[in-house]
């Protein structure tokens, strides 16, 4: 029965603790370890087993979840374990870059560990709900399929591919989109607050409904980018958007609000129009973002 599968969680920050709590709630025997042992207290009260060492934690379960601050912390904890992880599948859900994920996967392969990298697309508060999902990638396809019922306790488990860096790339790309949205929201709120408009009322009644309705345009921009057809099915010519965007910049400044969140976008639009692509859609600025990989 999937609910009886033992699982270990190494790292009990806010996210790690939420993961461990979700495994416990789903009925999994859960062993936990953290360098600051007291962080396990609340989970132990819920039924978790506290391991005295990271090696003891690793050996307690066939499924080992690692969720630490960064990849340096991952290696600080895992490097000294020797053979303790052999025969286990390590799911590293630590946030990092695709290159870090690939390097860690190679390190694990050299040591004979079964390793899959992952990206958590959720905040701790929604772990274990229908709103959470986790992206996984790596060579251990069979291990993932075997462990999917266990992994699903924390959120929808989605296998992205065999490249260990893919889950991280997707994770960071989605976060880039999120922070772009948050940056735009903060800019908008700063503008209206300059005239004393209530931020919560503005957000609830106007900003959120507008951003939600306009989000559908992303699919068309993506189609244009996939097909290299920046001037097919355009929503508005970039030359027109360039002028309109400059009004946002100038209005911000006149209201005493910095335009530093907006300036890079204005620069991209100006450069793209100057290069002769004013009849394209906004999607065409992606050409200015492309750089050759090192």
Q: Give the tens place of pLDDT for each residue, 184-211.
A: 999 999 999 999 999 999 999 999 999 9
- 140 pLDDT more than 90: no
Q: What are the tens digits of pLDDT across the range 21-77?
A: 999 999 999 999 999 999 999 999 999 999 999 999 999 999 999 999 999 999 999
Burial of 249 (0-12, 13-18, 19+ CB in 10 A): middle
The domains of the chain are located at 2-162, 170-289
Average pLDDT on 99-106 reads: 97
- 1 pLDDT more than 80: no
Q: What are the tens digits of pLDDT across the range 214-273?
A: 999 999 999 999 999 999 999 999 999 999 999 999 999 999 999 999 999 999 999 999
**Do residues 261 and 183 touch, judged by C-beta distance below 8 A?**
yes
- Structural domain 2-162, CATH architecture: 3-Layer(aba) Sandwich (3.40)
**Do residues 6 and 31 touch, judged by C-beta distance below 8 A?**
yes
Q: What are the tens digits of pLDDT across the range 109-119?
A: 999 999 999 99
CATH number listed for the domain at residues 170-289? 1.10.1040.10
- Look over the chain and give the mean of its residue pLDDT values, rounded to a whole number: 96
- 3 pLDDT more than 60: no
Tell me what pLDDT residue 294 has: 59
Alpha carbon distances (Å) from 122 to 12, 196, 216? 16, 33, 22
Tell me what pLDDT residue 4 has: 80
Tell me what pLDDT residue 82 has: 87
Tell me what pLDDT residue 293 has: 65
H or E element: which one contains 58? helix 54-59
The whole-model pTM stands at: 0.92
């Amino acid at each position: 029965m999937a609910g009886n599968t033992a699982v270990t969680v190494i790292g009990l920050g806010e996210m790690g603790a939420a993961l461990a709590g979700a495994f416990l709630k789903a009925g999994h025997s859960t062993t936990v370890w953290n360098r600051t042992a007291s962080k396990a207290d609340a989970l132990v009260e819920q039924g978790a087993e506290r391991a005295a060492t990271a090696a003891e934690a690793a050996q307690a379960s066939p499924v080992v979840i690692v969720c630490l601050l960064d990849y340096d912390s991952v290696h600080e904890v895992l490097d000294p374990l020797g053979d303790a992880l052999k025969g286990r599948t390590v799911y590293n859900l630590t946030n990092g870059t695709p290159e870090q994920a690939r390097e860690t996967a190679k390190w694990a392969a050299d040591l004979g560990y079964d390793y899959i990298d992952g990206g958590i697309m959720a905040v701790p508060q929604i772990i274990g709900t229908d709103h959470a999902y986790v992206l996984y990638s790596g060579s251990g396809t069979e291990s993932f399929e075997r462990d999917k019922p266990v992994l699903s306790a924390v959120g929808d488990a989605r296998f992205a591919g065999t490249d260990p860096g893919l889950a991280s790339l997707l994770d960071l790309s989605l976060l880039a989109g999120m922070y772009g949205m948050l940056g735009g929201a903060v800019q908008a709120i700063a503008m209206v607050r300059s005239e004393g408009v209530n931020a919560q009322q503005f957000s609830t009644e106007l900003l959120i409904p507008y951003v939600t309705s306009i989000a559908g345009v992303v699919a068309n921009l993506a189609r244009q980018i996939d097909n290299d057809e920046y001037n097919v099915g355009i929503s508005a010519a970039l030359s027109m958007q360039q002028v309109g965007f400059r009004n946002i910049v100038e209005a911000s400044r006149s209201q005493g609000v910095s335009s530093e969140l907006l300036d890079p976008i204005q620069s991209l639009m100006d450069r793209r129009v100057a290069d002769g692509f004013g009849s394209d859609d906004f999607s065409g600025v992606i050409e200015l973002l492309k750089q050759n990989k090192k």
